[in-house]
Amino acid sequence: MAVGNASIYYHLNLEQFHVLRSSNRPSCCKGRGLLVKQGMEWGFSTRAQCRVATIARHISPALCSAPNPFMQMGTQAIVDGGIQIRADVRDALERGFPVVALESTIISHGMPYPQNFETAKEVESIVRDSGAVPATIAILDGAPCIGLEEAELKKLAQLGKKAIKTSRRDIAHVIAKQATGATTVSATMFFAAKVGISVFVTGGIGGVHRDGEITMDVSSDLTELGRTAVTVVCAGVKSILDIPRTLEFLETQGVTVIGYGTDEFPAFFTPRSGCKAPTRVNTAEECAAITVANMNMGLQSGILVGVPIPAHYAAAAEPVEIAIQTSLKEIKDKNITGAAVTPFVLNRVNELTGGASLSANIALIKNNARVGSEIAIATAALVEGS
């Protein structure tokens, strides 16, 4: 395959990949070597063709003058626009192994240190133990990074809210200022899609705020889902948001919304929102089939998978949901509006629950990581078998 003036060769020696445990390696991670080049026969699988095409779309012409589009720099590889990909993530992407993207705002802004650092490590371990490769995404000193070393995770966790909360609109600014940015759902999706990661796990997504038809306060997560083909695994949206209007907005954006093992779209701390999920699947394989069909059709829109909080955690999180409803009533009584709503609610919920919301939040992201890893593995297996 020619990109610019260079021919790109990929030698896919699957048995040399060292990250996944050999004893737990999924079937999609076993296979033969394959040499891919334009004008040559593609070989035993379309997986390599799919991966090469995805990566090549995002390689900058300047970098493609090198024989290998991945330019080594220590344990990192530099690709389009100076994006750095950790070596194990790069290898997994080249070989078609399952990779799970993880956001970094949940580390810097979602919880205090050291719980944020410990949670980040535990979530990555869950992904690895499931048989996939974790790729936490952040911008460090102006460099977009796909996959962080433990020391980088710790630095980001310690920075906390000093790191810039970075959505799609902030990416160029953070890079230009050579600053450190923690990526939100929208920015994480952007970078994940840019390097060919198809599955992304988070806690919950943003949505249409209450009275959003007046304030126009709509999260960029929703518009990103409408234009970026990544499968986002989450626990739904918090009930402080307008869930019916959020689902309507997602429909307008052409986003496939899925209830995982449920007919009702989940509302983060509770499995019940009162809103029907447009689509239901019961297995990771069903989710993978939808993900691959979305890729094959070139729909260029995302998929949102709502995973209900497990029953034993839902009971523990019930006081959190009660606190949310209490704070919403206080908002009306105090006539709090606009940008002041979310900070007020989050602060009141934390006060009313004595910190229980943090424990429930951690449980959610861990459960989503397990489900998301299964979907990533099933997707990789389906692509390999196609």
The question of whether 103 is a catalytic residue gets the answer: yes
Q: Nearest CA to 228 among 200, 263, 202, 203?
A: 200
Distance of CA 337 to the CA centre of its chain: 30
**The residue to which tokens 């729909």 are assigned:** 299
**What is Dmax (Cα atoms) for the chain?**
70
Computed from CA positions of residues 215, 218, 223, 226, in that sequence, does the dihedral angle turn out positive or negative?
negative
Choice among 103, 124, 224, 384 that is catalytic: 103
Q: What contacts 51, CB < 8 A, 6 or more positions away?
A: 10, 93, 94, 96, 196
Dist. CA 386–CA 370, nearest whole Å: 25
The residue whose two tokens read 């060292």 is 18
**What distance in Å separates the CA atoms of residue 21 and residue 322, rounded to the nearest whole number?**
43
Which entry of 238, 264, 374, 384 is annotated as an active-site residue?
238
Residues annotated as catalytic (active site), given as ranges = 103, 238
